[in-house]
Structure 1
Amino acid sequence: MPNFCAAPNCTKKSTQSDLAFFRFPRDPERCRLWVENCRRADLEAKTADQLNKHYRLCANHFVPAMVCKTSPYRTVLKDTAIPTIFDLTSHLKSPNTRHRKRIKELTEEDIMKIAERRLVSSTKQLAKKDEEAEDAASADTGPQLSTEEKELREYLRSLFEIVVVLEKQGIPLLTSNASTAGNTNTSNFQALLDHRMNAGDKALRKRFEAAAVNTEYLSATQLGQLLDICENTVREEMLMEVRESRFFSLVTGDLIEFASENHLPVFLRFVNQNNTLREEFLDFVLYEGEESALLERLEAQLTDRWGLSMEDCRGQAHRATGAATTKMKAVAVMLMEKYPLALHMPCSSTALNIHLANSLPFPNVQIVMETLRRIGALFVAPFTQEKLDESITMTYQGNEEKGAALKQACSSRWTEQHNVFDLLLDMLLPLLLCMDNIRDNDDGRFTDSVIADAYSISETLADFEIVATIIILKNVLTFTRAFGKNLQGGVGDAFFAANSLTAVLHSLNEVNDNIDVYHEFWFEEAVNVANIMEISVRAPRLFLRKQRAADVGELQVEMYFKEYVTVPVIRGIMQEVEDMFSETNLKALKCLSLVPGVMGQMKFNTSEENYGEVYRNDLPNAETLSEEFYCWRIKWKHRGKEVSLPTTIHETLQLPYVKFFPNVNTFLKILSTLPLLKLEENNGEAANGRLQAYLDSMPAEQWNKSLAMLHVNTGVKHDLDVMVDKYCLVCSEEEPEVEPEAEAEAEAEPEGEAEADPEVEPEPEANSEGAAEEDVAMK
């Protein structure tokens, strides 16, 4: 709806001008000054809340210095802005004209009161300016940094610059030799220090030459402090954007092991002030403990440490695999019980069928999913893809067309696609042949680890239970494949997919009701594939041993797979789909019809107000929700022929006039954060990919949590002066320095030092004596 200016003799409205319009302030005193300057007698009886809700002033009534343009699409007022520019006489030239905004005629008493108030206000402002000037003068004339302090800051700045080089280039702290031998003298950090000093860094050179012993320039504890301060500074930059955007979603990744402890990588998804969707990596959370302990730890990380409010969390997704799946599902349920709008959804970066299979807590299914991950990792190694292509050619000699299609499908990341189980079934024979060729290693191109992986994969795929499980998964997940592909596609596809869930559940229920018939066909398919692969058809050996021990009669293999594979899989998939797409989740997804491109496909016959109640408490003007939705539809329905309909949330949020529809604007920002929707700018995949690239680029024993976080977020600005200030503040808050002899004794106890800062992974020290001498040199 258009905004009209409340000033007398002003006819500006938002739909006819690019001018910014500002609400009356909620502060009663400041609001009274606005009304007083407007000279509108009819506004004096209204409260500040009423004025804030229903009345606006355009930017023409403020001096330019009071108006700030924070972005191409956002204009704000300074906190002390008062309107002073008004036309109070032009209506007198046309006395017969009906004047809607009656101007209050001021009496002499009113004029005297206004003058007194302005005099008091001017006096206060002058006093405030004098205080600020005195503070600035005292700051300028305050104690200056001594030469030693300046040299120390330059030295610290050089150290932080080296840390930034390490994180940007993904360089481990230690060389491969140092990681095995425990010799910190060969650390990459030390090598960069030497290089920088040789390149002419005077601050480092002076500090180095003053040291009594040059074996180790920086202790593990001090290096840990540098990394910690860098990490916290970069994280705070990102958290400022999250707080400004208010709404966010929580996304966790698969487990990563640091120092024999599993950690969850945590990502936050939000829309920044430029209306761009981002998904950024924030930190690792310790995974150990029960579900309740993990939830408490995760919530404390988000609120107590990062300063976020879980009341603003609008979605959650957990990319867990293996045994962690059940635990993370329990955490998600408990989180939704506390915060009902933190909707639990699949993550857009994981195909829905893969997510559904990962969620099944059955050993045979988890073996299949783990084998898929191992296959994907194996074909990253050199020459393995070439062997696979040769195996496909040999297997499908009589069907070149299918062979070519399989080669194209398996060219990259085929183990992560929506139709992965169909591909895996077609690839069983070529995969076994490829594994055998890798094991033979006739040309000597494969390492021992690759050969060992190939042997393990071939043994797994040659088991009838695994073959039968793959076929059952393939057939059951056929009913969700198209649904998931659309749901994680474009905005329009996701909207129509949300409306097709009933049909998907109907198909799954039909299979469940006729499970005997379906299982018969699926088991027959499994037997045929096993015969081609020359695999014996039998139940698992563990189950057979239990049957013999219990003295049970003859076991029918088909009945075993029906009872222990087919029925649990179909019912588990049905339950997971119902849990993931509850009524609240579907209502949220159906609000995607607010995107103009979806409206056009629906012929503008949409009913967003039926679903908009989900986020009513988040809206700035919830009482005008239906009217605003109606105006939004009419605006796009009667647009000019030259105006194209935006097809994505990102395009819609970039429109300059979307701010005049505050409820729609808020809705679109909340919907963007939902983890299920595809990231239009691929920011989330880039962050997750950089994390994985860091982990893949070095041995696990050289992983460092701080460097991993810094490496993933290389795009965030690094203010070295802020880092130096924080380091100096930390050092000043620590205990007074001890005498060198006592310090040497303290340095000789590395175990106590490591316990003092559990967040940092210290490098192994060369020896306690060298560490003590080094620290004395640092003094």
Structure 2
Amino acid sequence: MLLTLSMPPTFFDNSPKRQRFLEIILDAYPPETKRKRLVGLCKTRWVERHTSLETFTEMYEYIIPCFEAILFNEHANIYKEGEKVFSWDRETRTKAQGLLSSLKNFTNILAIIVARNELHTVKPMASKLQKRDFDVYQAYTLIDETRNKISCLREDIDAQFSEWYEEAVLVAEKIGSTVEAPRTSKLAIHRANAPNESTKEYYLRNLAIPFIDCLNGEFNERFNPNNRMGKEILALLPAAIRGENDIKSLVQNLIFWNDDLPNPCALRNEVIDLKMFWESKQVDLTEISLRIYALKQADIDVFPNIRTLLKINDR
């Protein structure tokens, strides 16, 4: 699927003539899309990867007639620029043949749509985590929210997949693709081959569910809550301490840094005072960097232990 996504943008980007021809094709259809260029698949940045998926699905039904026009030259007199009729060399037509065959494969159509929808759960997080002014506590909160979104999607995958499947069938009808599952075999060992009773169920069991399970597993491994450095200190940030109900447990966790504290005996009272301090503050904590703001507000004479702990978290 990733190979299917990466090749068409390269095909057009490497040739101004091909890109211009694609734009002429797009202009010949109703203005259902404002996009004029495919977006390459970024290997590292998830936001750009999702943008690539969105762009590809939006332009899918227009890319097909472009390849058909290049390959069969059936509409050369229509898709032309002024009096200039486009002609294509053997290399271009050979590449167009392979790409056309790949894009009209229903498995690839559905795979792109499934990936776009399932990866949508991580798009907001990926975008936010790339911002320089995003606070660490807000980041952990967003990560936990994203984990819950992935889990909810997994629980509701049957209903969600039904909508994705209908979208894929609609795209297939528009481009003249056949809706069918790959031939199955009891001895298949190189591809997913879970038992199924229909084409839809085949793709649910062998495409949608494995993809979301893989996403869930990789996400939990990458953002394991048990591997968060100084996570107890994060509970001292304004948004967290406001909702903290177990002061005793929090203080016990913070005692880990006992040797660094200027006055450990006063830590419990400071935590209680800090909770009351932030509960009395009328400020929108979603619009500021919590860690920096909390450190500035922690007066060294009033909260010496808290200030020390916040500085530890800043290292």
Instruction: Sort the TM-score into its range (normalised by shorter chain).
Output: 0.5 to 0.7
Give the conservation status (yes or no) of the 8 Å contact 1:487–1:493: no
| Contact 2:53 2:112 (8 Å CA) reproduced | yes
- Contact persistence 1:487–1:495 (CA under 8 A): no
Aligned to 1:570: 212
Contact 1:468 1:523 in 2 (8 A): yes
Q: Secondary structure at the match of 2:28?
A: helix
Counterparts in 2 of 1:476 and 1:389: CA distance versus 1, 3 Å: same
Distance verdict in 2 for CA 1:623–1:391, change over 3 Å: farther
Correspondence for 2:171 among 525, 529, 541: 529
Q: Which residue of 2 aligns with 1:504?
A: 149
2:26 to 385, 392, 396: 392
Classify 1:533/1:629 alpha carbon distance in 2 versus 1 (closer, same or farther; 3 Å).
Answer: farther
Q: 1:259-305 deviations in whole A, cap 9, x for unaligned?
A: xxxxxxxxxxxxxxxxxxxxxxxxxxxxxxxxxxxxxxxxxxxxxxx
Distance 1:470 1:496, change over 3 A: same
Q: Which residue of 2 aligns with 1:467?
A: 109
Q: Structure 1, residues 469-497: CA drift from partner, whole Å, max 9, x if none?
A: 22233343444444554455533752441
Deviation at 1:464, TM superposition (A): 1.0
Write the deviation string for residues 113-166 of structure 1: whole angstroms up to 9, x where unpaired.
xxxxxxxxxxxxxxxxxxxxxxxxxxxxxxxxxxxxxxxxxxxxxxxxxxxxxx
Give CA-to-partner distance per residue, 1:382-432, whole Å, 9 cap, x none. Answer: 42554444343334x1xx3x422x348959979824354343222212233
Measured in 1, the distance between the counterparts of 2:4 and 2:97 equals 12
Asked whether the equivalents of residues 588 and 614 of structure 1 are also in contact (C-alpha less than 8 Å), the reply is: no
Which whole-Å deviations, capped at 9, do the CAs of 1:230-270 have from their partners, x for residues lacking one? xxxxxxxxxxxxxxxxxxxxxxxxxxxxxxxxxxxxxxxxx
Alpha-carbon distance between aligned partners in 1 of 2:3 and 2:49, rounded to the nearest angstrom: 15
Partner of residue 313 from structure 2, selected from 667, 685, 689: 667
* Residues 502-511 or 435-444, more deviating: 435-444
Letter in 1 for 2:33: G
Matched, 1:421 2:53: yes
Paired with 2:58 and 2:259, the residues of 1 have a C-alpha distance of: 51
Identity among equivalent pairs (%): 17
Partners of 2:231 and 2:22 in 1: how far apart?
41
- Per the TM alignment, residue 511 of structure 1 is displaced from its structure 2 partner at its CA by 1.3
Tell me the distance in 1 between the aligned counterparts of 2:49 and 2:229: 27
**What is the DSSP-based 3-state SS (H/G/I as helix, E as strand, rest coil) of the residue aligned with 1:540?**
coil
Q: Secondary structure at the match of 2:99?
A: helix
User: 2:5 matched to which residue of 1?
Assistant: 372
CA distance in 2, matches of 1:615, 1:434: 67
Shift of 1:532: 1.2
Q: Map of 1:535-550 to 2, 5 A cutoff?
A: 535-541=177-183, 543=184
Contact 1:588 1:612 survives alignment (8 Å): no
Distance in 1, Cα, partners of 2:128 & 2:53: 18
Whether the aligned pair in 2 keeps the contact of 1:487 and 1:498 (CA below 8 Å) is no
Matched, 1:558 2:191: no
Cα separation, partners in 2 of 1:663 and 1:612, compared to 1, 3 Å = farther
1:381 paired with 2:14, answer: yes
| CA distance, structure 2, for counterparts of residue 453 and residue 618 of structure 1 | 66
Which structure has greater strand proportion? 1
Q: Describe the superposition over 1:617-643 as per-residue Cα deviations: whole angstroms up to 9, x where unpaired.
A: 79944984767777888998999x9xx
Look up the equivalent residue of 2:155 and give its one-letter code: E
Tell me: CA distance 1:487–1:605, structure 2 relative to 1, closer, same or farther (3 Å). same
Q: CA deviation at 1:612?
A: 10
The partner residue of 1:432 within 50, 64, 73 is 64
Does structure 1 conserve the Cα–Cα contact (< 8 Å) formed by 2:251 and 2:268?
A: no
The 3 A distance-change label for structure 1 pair 546 and 464 is farther
Verify the 8 A CA contact 1:499 1:590 in the aligned structure 2: no
| Offset, 1:443 | 4.7
Letter paired with 2:142: A
- Alpha-carbon offset, residue 372 of structure 1: 2.5
Preserved CA contact (<8 Å) 2:9 2:40: no
Q: Which runs of 5+ in 1 are unaligned?
A: 1-367, 548-553, 670-779
1:427 maps to a residue whose letter is M
Between 1 and 2, higher relative CO (CA 8 Å, sep ≥ 6) is seen in 1
User: Structure 2: where are the runs of 5+ without partners?
Assistant: 77-84, 189-195
Distance change >3 Å, CA 495–CA 447, structure 1 → 2: farther
Q: 1:653 to 1:534 in 2, by over 3 A?
A: farther
Asked if the contact 1:418–1:485 (Cα under 8 Å) also holds between the matched residues in 2, the reply is no
- Larger Rg: 1 or 2? 1
The answer to whether the 8 A contact 1:461-1:467 is kept is: yes
Mapped contact 1:538–1:557 kept (Cα < 8 A)? yes
Q: Using a 3 Å threshold, how does the CA distance of structure 1 residues 394 and 633 change in structure 2: closer, same or farther?
A: farther
Paired with 1:382 and 1:611, the residues of 2 have a C-alpha distance of 64
Indicate if the aligned counterparts of 2:39 and 2:56 stay in contact, CA closer than 8 A.
Answer: no
TM-aligned CA distance change 1:615 to 1:469, over 3 Å = farther
SS in structure 1 opposite 2:50? coil
Could you tell me the TM-score, scaled by structure 1's length? Answer: 0.28
What is aligned with 2:192?
Answer: none
CA distance in 2, matches of 1:423, 1:565: 21
- Which whole-Å CA distance do the structure 2 matches of 1:590 and 1:500 have between them? 19
Change (3 A) 1:555 1:630: closer
The answer to whether the Cα contact below 8 Å between 1:387 and 1:437 also exists between their aligned partners in 2 is: no
The TM-score normalised by the length of structure 2 is: 0.61
- 2:23–2:36 Cα contact (<8 Å) kept: yes
The 5-angstrom pairing of residues 334-733 of structure 1 reads 368-383=1-16, 385-395=19-29, 397=30, 400=31, 402-404=32-34, 406-407=35-36, 416-436=48-68, 443=86, 448=91, 454-486=96-128, 488-489=130-131, 490-491=134-135, 494-501=139-146, 503-512=148-157, 515=158, 517-541=159-183, 543=184, 556-585=198-227, 599=238, 602=239, 605=242, 610=250, 613=253, 616=256, 620-621=260-261, 624=264, 647=289, 661-669=307-315
